[in-house]
Amino acid sequence: MVITDMKNIIITTSFLIVAFSLESSFAQDLRSGDSLIRNSLDGYYDGKRVSASMERYIKHWNQTEPQLNEFFTNFSYYPLKGLEYEEGISRRDPSTVIKIDDKYYIYYTRSQKIDPPVGYQKANKKLPATTWDMCSIYYATSADGINWKEQGASVKPGPDGEFDDRSVFTPDILVYEGKYYLYYQAVQYPYTERSKNVIGMSWADNPEGPWHRHPEPVLNPGKSGKWLIGTKRRSMIESYGDFDSQKVHDPNLIVRNSKIWMYYKAHPMGLGSEKPEPFGCDLPKPYPNFSMGLAIAEKPEGPFIKHALNPVSASGHEALVWPYKEGVATLITANGPEKNTLQWAADGVNFEVKAHVVLPPDAAGLYCPDKYANTKNGQGFTWGISHISQSKTRPWAYLIGFRCDLSQAIQDRKYKQENIRFDEYSRINSTRRK
């Protein structure tokens, strides 16, 4: 009798141990996919488990709707007189807009060609490869930011045999200690898929020039990889090199901590290598196709020292930054897993997603009055200039204006709307590359 009772006790105890273990295991599995929230707003979720999405809503998004998010904005667009579409002339990649006295200035990539670009394979001394090939940097002025007058060339390609003898393009302007500095992408002839791109600089005492060409690039690509022999494709490589091993371009500048911070777009060698053979190669890829680097200098001519944490963004197409509050904000567009987001970093380096945006401007040039003020409390901006890229039916890029609300000074609810919809034309053509 006693023996039988002991057996029952042992069996029951074993069952309870197994059940408890299973329950604990289940609870552990449950906890792996959810979170315990402590001290949330008004204590509503305090001590309760929530989903991953709700955890982000509480912790990352601060339990606010986009209408209350200072980093969230919509964009509206409007035509510019004097910089509109024009057959045979390409205008693209506008710089930061600056205002000197009562006049606005914008600098941009410009070319005038008889024929549209023919691609890298067919390009020669007379025929351009792309709309940013065989270009100069022009400038225009305006009294109101809408009506512009093109004034002429600021910087032209350099002498034959120099690093910039083929094309100068994608400029940004820096105003620093009473002088003006144009930074721009530069390429040497012949311009091929595998051409290395650098960043050059010219300076002037006046925003209208004359401009003095710095004799050497101020920023070069990083450590080189190795091209695959037997093909001219940029996607075919044996090794990648650094994240910016082929191109450094689209410079965008601020003055921060009394130094010049240059953010730039970067390409590694092997752009497109992830494509299936024979157009790509079977090689693990360490960096994204498009990323944003940072280089800092004590003076405008450099030397620019690349940041140890580069790339500071693993997404985006052009570098676009501005001072905001004590940190730096950036608009990340077009490419990468965090495309079409607005991000912010208190230290200007470690960016975090703050908002998602729809229809952001391409290659935007901001009017941001304190961009070069070495401010500790950046105010943001409300307008700028974008380009419209070339298409098959309109093969020449042109410039348009845009408005938004990314300013501390205003709260325009027109630019805080959600649930944006698209018309039939936009949907039907959404997968057609311009």
Q: Is the pLDDT confidence value at 432 over 70?
A: no
Q: Is the pLDDT confidence value at 34 over 50?
A: yes
How far is Cα of residue 264 from the mean position of the Cα atoms in its chain? 8
Instruction: Report percent pLDDT > 90 for the chain.
Output: 70
Residue 46 has what pLDDT? 82
Instruction: Give residues with Cβ within 8 angstroms of 88, minimum separation 6.
Output: 112, 113, 114, 396
Residue 282 has what pLDDT? 80
Q: Is the pLDDT confidence value at 190 over 60?
A: yes
User: In sequence order, what E strands does 115-162 have?
Assistant: 136-142, 148-155
The 8-class DSSP code of residue 42 comes to: G
Q: How far apart are CA 76 and CA 127, in angstroms?
A: 36
Q: How far apart are CA 354 and CA 64, in angstroms?
A: 12
The whole-number average pLDDT for the span 362-370 is 97
Q: How far apart are CA 276 and CA 329, in angstroms?
A: 36
Residue 2 has what pLDDT? 41
Highest-scoring range by mean pLDDT, 128-137, 197-206, 278-287 = 197-206
Angstrom distances, CA of residue 294 to CA of 109, 260, 306, 313, 340: 22, 10, 6, 9, 20
Instruction: Determine which of 35-49, 131-145, 235-249, 403-417 has the lowest per-residue pLDDT on average.
Output: 35-49
The whole-number average pLDDT for the span 149-174 is 97
Q: How far apart are CA 204 and CA 340, in angstroms?
A: 35
Q: How far apart are CA 221 and CA 223, in angstroms?
A: 7
Instruction: Determine which of 236-250, 264-278, 342-356, 415-429 has the lowest per-residue pLDDT on average.
Output: 415-429
Q: Is the pLDDT confidence value at 78 over 80?
A: yes
Instruction: Determine which of 13-22, 93-102, 152-161, 234-243 has the lowest per-residue pLDDT on average.
Output: 13-22
Residue 284 has what pLDDT? 86
Residue 47 has what pLDDT? 84
Instruction: Determine which of 67-76, 121-130, 206-215, 347-356 has the lowest per-residue pLDDT on average.
Output: 121-130
The 8-class DSSP code of residue 228 comes to: P
The whole-number average pLDDT for the span 335-358 is 97
Q: How far apart are CA 269 and CA 20, in angstroms?
A: 56
Q: How far apart are CA 41 and CA 44, in angstroms?
A: 7
The whole-number average pLDDT for the span 72-90 is 96
Residue 116 has what pLDDT? 77
Do residues 200 and 304 make contact, with C-beta atoms less than 8 angstroms apart? no
Do residues 252 and 320 make contact, with C-beta atoms less than 8 angstroms apart? yes
Residue 15 has what pLDDT? 41
Q: What's the token pair of residue 257?
A: 């901590």
Class of domain 76-388+395-404: mainly beta
Closest CA to 348 of 369, 327, 362: 327
Q: Is the pLDDT confidence value at 25 over 80?
A: no
Angstrom distances, CA of residue 192 to CA of 96, 129, 403: 29, 8, 37
